[in-house]
Amino acid sequence: MKFRLQQIILLLLIPALTHCDKSNESDFYYATDAAFAQEILNAIFTIVVQQNTAKSSEFDIFNCFNVNSEQLSKNNYKTCIDFSENGCPDINSNLLKGKIYLESSGNWYLTGSTTLITFVNFSRNNQKINGIINIKYNARITDTTGIHPQFIMEVQNLNILFEDSTSIQFSGTQKITWRKGFYSSDLFDKTIEISSIITGTNRRKNIFTYNSEKLVFPFTCLYTTEGIVNVTKENNKQIVFDYGKKLCDRKIILYQKGAAIEFDAY
């Protein structure tokens, strides 16, 4: 009886999954490309955080790169993070190659500090990344849970080029609020909350606008674990996907016509 019930449930699920893959295939691609863009921004921000806060290699997310810093003026440094041509994996086995340059002004821990990020032959899992990102420590936000540093990330024409020559291109703004561990030297003690407005084109050259509120990104996991995203398609129709509740995985839930379909985001 139990086996028979499982068969019935499986048969009920098949139409919803088929509907997602074929009839509304574009929704699937809009969702996965938007989630992948967020994943790349999180990875880049993680690199910047490690460079500014980690005091011991035991807290490193990456531990096989070379760092060279040059002081340009008082409180102004240019840093090259070199992952080499052979590459350097992070703790989730993502392989990074090439160089990231950080031009920093001010103390990371003080409001008003800025970091300009550029890329030279940089790739992640053989996906080439180029563009400009500015990060600014914008303010200290007070709520019922305490005082939280807030950073603004401005993304300018970021391009992610895949091995099949397709690409995701986007610009926009992220508001990053620290919920835990801003002053800690332990990277795995940190959690941030992200709200974004991003506009660009996906791998099928469709225009999209990505709007998220309060995505939760714990550094213990290095995946987004909570939050809802609205994606506006180029025909002005909207799709919604959800990162779920506190699970450390790559899964998102796409909502289509009353059905909730879970799959790997990237």
Per-residue pLDDT tens digits for 218-237: 998 888 999 999 999 988 89
pLDDT digits (tens, 9 = 90+) for 154-209: 999 999 999 999 999 999 999 999 999 999 888 888 999 999 999 999 999 999 99
The answer to whether residue 250 is domain-embedded is: no
The answer to whether residue 118 is domain-embedded is: yes
The answer to whether residue 209 is domain-embedded is: yes
The answer to whether residue 259 is domain-embedded is: no
Domain of residue 103, residue span = 23-224
The answer to whether residue 55 is domain-embedded is: yes
What's the total number of domains in the chain? Answer: 1
Instruction: Write down the pTM of the prediction.
Output: 0.86
The answer to whether residue 11 is domain-embedded is: no
pLDDT cut 70: percent of the chain above it = 86
Distance of CA 136 to the CA centre of its chain: 17
Instruction: Annotate 221-246 with three-state secondary structure.
Output: CCCCCEEEEEEECCCCCEEEEEEEEC
**CA 131/CA 112 separation, integer angstroms:** 23
Q: Which long-range contacts (CB under 8 A, 24 or more apart) does 46-49 make?
A: 46/90, 46/187, 46/219, 46/222, 47/81, 47/100, 48/102, 48/115, 48/117, 48/135, 49/187, 49/190, 49/219
The answer to whether residue 119 is domain-embedded is: yes
251: which strand partners? 264
The answer to whether residue 82 is domain-embedded is: yes
